[in-house]
Amino acid sequence: MAMSAPRGAPRPKGTAPVADWYTNFANSGFGTTLTKQLGLPRPAVLRRYEPGQPLLPGPVVIGSAGQGRLRDTVSAVLKDAGVTVLSPVAADGSTDGEKLGAVVLDATGLTSPGDLASAHDFLAPAIKRLRPSGRVLILADPPQDTDSPAQAAARQAIDGLVRSIGKELLNGSTANAVYVPEGAEASLASPLKFFLSGRSAYVDGQLLTLSPADVPTGEDAEKPLAGKVAVVTGAARGIGAAIAEVMARDGAHVVAVDIPAAGDSLAKVANEIGGTALQLDITAADAPQRLVEHLRERHGGVDVIVHNAGITRDKLLVNMDAARWNSVMAVNLQAQLDITQALLDDGDVLRPGARVVCVSSQSGIAGNRGQTNYAASKAGVIGMVRAWAPEFAKRDATINAVAPGFIITEMTAKMPLGTREVGSRINSLQQGGLPVDVAETIAWLSQPGSAGVNGQTVRVCGQSMLGA
């Protein structure tokens, strides 16, 4: 008997771009007037990815500072994606021409801080012409790859430059930077497209460092995960359910994992996206083995593991009992370590080119009062992916972390209004992110084309002020 419905075909519910109430209000007629007059935050409705959407809603300009070895690569990738590439905007030119979808600065080949003047010359007029939800992306050499103090200074300057641009941009626009070492040029296409697209709506002020890698080509832009088997833990609700939905939308068969007690909603998620439900307590001693056996028996292997399952057991450190500490560590960190190790040890269940994406947290970077256990576990995740990256690289695989900031979920809906509003506004985009924003970032890291992103932690926080 044939399966008559294609897997993952319908557009899943819950991924529609829905902003919070304040964003809705501030973008209404009366709300616009009022928030402007009172000088209140004016969060924009972010451009979020929808299947079939063009990469950018407007043309892109590419400029250079320094020698610039990436211009042709960038240009080719963007033209291939159907984006119009324009010449740099003249500093004294008109600002009312065609609005730009994105501004890309190739700052590779900087030799000294003096080279940065041309960065300023290029960026200032171009950014004036940026559309809402525009993108600024700066490409540079990694500062640590040079012995020259002047060169390192110029490269490191990009860090301060891009973070500041992120804070200055309005209307849902973002600024990010990618450090591209010599030899990693082929790795650039996937992050380039991600940062310019609506998939990175809530990723702002981030600096990503690429590695040289064997990057597969010929990926289906609409279904980059076609034919892949992806495990998502903690998939019964919230961010995990959104991850499962986006992975399925991108073509993956999703094995949705959650604790048996959440099996009811887990089954609904699996049925919604055409995936399968696996009820498993990931902290059980035999959980890694059971997962490996399940993947081998049912799918012959696995391509993507998303370690999303996480719990909070908040209490000030001085009042925290061992149970709170241990349970958070077991779910958030030890299970990720044990399952990943079991997959590596097994030999063949983890397919070549595998992707592991681990969910960390802003708390793991900035710390959070009452969350010593949680923050420790989430910081541990960052150390884990960094340490494992070289071994994964040997297998043409990658392991990365994603650190969500303030994401609007059922959990944050229960926070007191004041705490929630402050928490969601203290970032450059002046709004909380959505589960789909985290999911899009994870789905991007899972793509075969993201082979050159390894050992990185990508924050999905709208350039939060916490831990920045």
Task: Fill in the DSSP letter of residue 407.
Answer: B
Task: Fill in the DSSP letter of residue 356.
Answer: E
State yes or no: residue 277 binds another protein (CB under 8 A): yes
> Is the Cβ–Cβ distance between 105 and 119 less than 8 Å?
yes
* Residue 107: closest CA among 60, 142, 77, 61: 142
* Helix/strand/coil for 433: strand
**Is the CB of 8 or the CB of 125 nearer to another protein?**
8
State the alpha helices, DSSP H only, in 53-209. Answer: 71-80, 116-128, 149-168, 189-196
State yes or no: residue 261 binds another protein (CB under 8 A): yes
Q: Which of 115, 204, 281, 437 lies at the binding interface for another protein (CB under 8 A)?
A: 281
State yes or no: residue 271 binds another protein (CB under 8 A): yes
* Residue 304: closest CA among 368, 350, 273, 246: 350
CA distance linking residue 403 with residue 466, whole number of Å: 12
CA distance linking residue 200 with residue 4, whole number of Å: 34
Q: Which of 199, 228, 237, 253 lies at the binding interface for another protein (CB under 8 A)?
A: 253
State yes or no: residue 225 binds another protein (CB under 8 A): no
Q: Considering only 114-122, 148-156, 170-178, 274-282, which stretch makes contact with another protein by CB under 8 A? A: 274-282
Smallest distance from another protein to CB 268, Å? 8
CA distance linking residue 237 with residue 14, whole number of Å: 11
**Is the CB of 2 or the CB of 318 nearer to another protein?**
2
Q: Which of 72, 222, 264, 391 lies at the binding interface for another protein (CB under 8 A)?
A: 264
CA distance linking residue 425 with residue 463, whole number of Å: 11
Q: Considering only 132-140, 141-149, 199-207, 259-267, which stretch makes contact with another protein by CB under 8 A? A: 259-267
State yes or no: residue 3 binds another protein (CB under 8 A): yes
Interhelix angle 149-168/116-128, rounded to 10 degrees, is: 10
State yes or no: residue 11 binds another protein (CB under 8 A): no
**Is the CB of 263 or the CB of 423 nearer to another protein?**
263
Task: Fill in the DSSP letter of residue 188.
Answer: S
Q: Considering only 35-43, 59-67, 154-162, 264-272, which stretch makes contact with another protein by CB under 8 A? A: 264-272
Tell me if residue 22 is catalytic: no
Contacting positions for another protein (CB under 8 A): 1-5, 7, 253, 260-264, 266-268, 270-271, 274-281, 284, 286, 290, 297-300
Q: Catalytic residue numbers?
A: 374
